[in-house]
Chain A
Amino acid sequence: DIQMTQSPSSLSASVGDRVTITCRASQSISTYLNWYQQKPGKAPMLLIYAASRLQSGVPSRFSGSGSGTEFTLTISSLQPEDFATYYCQQSYTTPRTFGQGTRVEIK
């Protein structure tokens, strides 16, 4: 199975900060990498698919990059509604593994 490892596990940031989350795959997954946002008590929501393609309706302050085994999710200017947990997920193969999540908290 492909293991997905996110870092950091949590971070504290202020509104307006630039935030970067890293996701590493245990083997190459090309760009078969998706990012989801989950707020407390809510279902996850797709932000980015194919490593860098923004899902329709998602604000442009979110961006993704990477290929192979290293990927990043960047929030260019953190907004109050962005405080949530973020997960990467590979769909290169089954099982569809998730990273352990990165919790973004208010500083």
Chain B
Amino acid sequence: EVQLLESGGGLVQPGGSLRLSCAASGFTFSSYAMNWVRQAPGKGLEWVSGISGSGGNTYHADSVKGRFTISRDNSKNTLYLQMNGLRAEDTALYLCASEKPGYCSGGSCYPAYFQHWGQGTLVTVSS
């Protein structure tokens, strides 16, 4: 059974830092791109960051670029999100999600999608 378990959230003052972790099990972690998606209280889903299976390629939303860094340790089956310079607007539930890769077959191409999700860890930025 696939499991994604986030941790590391909490209350932090504006300008502070946190490191989130997502421990994965039940699948070949290194074969899958991974993502962080956040959801502010009562709001919709916002993609935050993504990383390739090898860790060689990383991507961040403009809203967090320069402040957040996604990384992974495939030997530990763990995904990370280092968050610096936190702002009130970063307050949200942070979920990790594995991404099933897109592929082409028989002349048709199929997109990547977020296949498995954790339950999230809550980050609150407030003084």
Contact = CB atoms under 8 A, between A and B. Distances in A.
A91 B112 contact: yes
Nearest to A103: B44
B20 interface: no
Contacts of A95: 47, 59, 61-62
B119 interface: yes
Interface string B101-127: 010000011111111011110000000
Nearest to A92: B111
Interface residues of B, number: 24
Main DSSP-derived SS at the A contact region: loop
A34 B71 CA distance: 25
Contacts of B47: 89, 95-98
Nearest to B57: A94
Given A45-B117, A91-B113, A101-B44, 17 more contacts: A1-B62, A30-B109, A31-B111, A32-B111, A33-B111, A43-B95, A43-B117, A44-B117, A46-B114, A50-B110, A89-B47, A89-B113, A90-B111, A92-B111, A95-B47, A98-B45, A101-B45
